[in-house]
């Protein structure tokens, strides 16, 4: 298992204009993400997960742009370029402006979340 990865060496995954390049580093997945302004995964994709929201915690650094995070308890937080962040379980995400982030997530929890999202997408 590598101890480091380079963004340009990773395969690209897309969802519309959203782009992610990710790799596992031990028990965490690192993702280099580019999101266009207005991008927000439809909430119905999280149906069946706790609170019908993303249950996976994320740590990261917003290189460029602005993100809005809405939590199941109604709290709304904004992350801006130049800020490191922690997003607790039970949230939805929206990219307010064109954004770039480097994000770390526990691989097991992320994989379980992705499986439900993919199933809800029909694939």
DSSP per position, 30-95: EEEEEE-TT----GGGGTTSGGGSB---EEEEEEESEEEEEETTS-EEEEETT-EEEE-SSEEEEE
Residues 21-31 have pLDDT tens digits of 999 999 999 99
pTM for the full model?
0.93
pLDDT at site 87:
98
Q: Is pLDDT of 16 > 90?
A: no
Average pLDDT over residues 51-55: 97
Residues 75-107 have pLDDT tens digits of 999 999 999 999 999 999 999 999 999 999 999
Domain residue spans of the chain: 14-109
pLDDT at site 84:
98
The fold of the 14-109 domain, in CATH, is Jelly Rolls (2.60.120)
pLDDT at site 51:
96
């Amino acid at each position: 298992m590598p101890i480091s990865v380079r963004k340009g060496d990773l395969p690209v995954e897309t969802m519309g204009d959203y782009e992610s390049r990710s790799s596992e580093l031990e028990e965490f997945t690192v993702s280099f993400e580019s999101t266009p302004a207005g991008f927000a995964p439809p909430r119905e994709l999280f149906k069946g997960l706790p609170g019908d929201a993303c249950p996976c915690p994320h740590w990261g650094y917003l290189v460029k742009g602005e993100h809005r995070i809405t939590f199941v308890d109604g709290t709304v937080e904004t992350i801006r370029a130049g800020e490191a962040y922690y997003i607790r379980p039970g949230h939805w995400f929206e990219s307010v402006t064109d954004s770039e982030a480097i994000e770390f997530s526990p691989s097991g929890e992320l994989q379980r979340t992705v499986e439900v999202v993919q199933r809800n997408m029909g694939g």
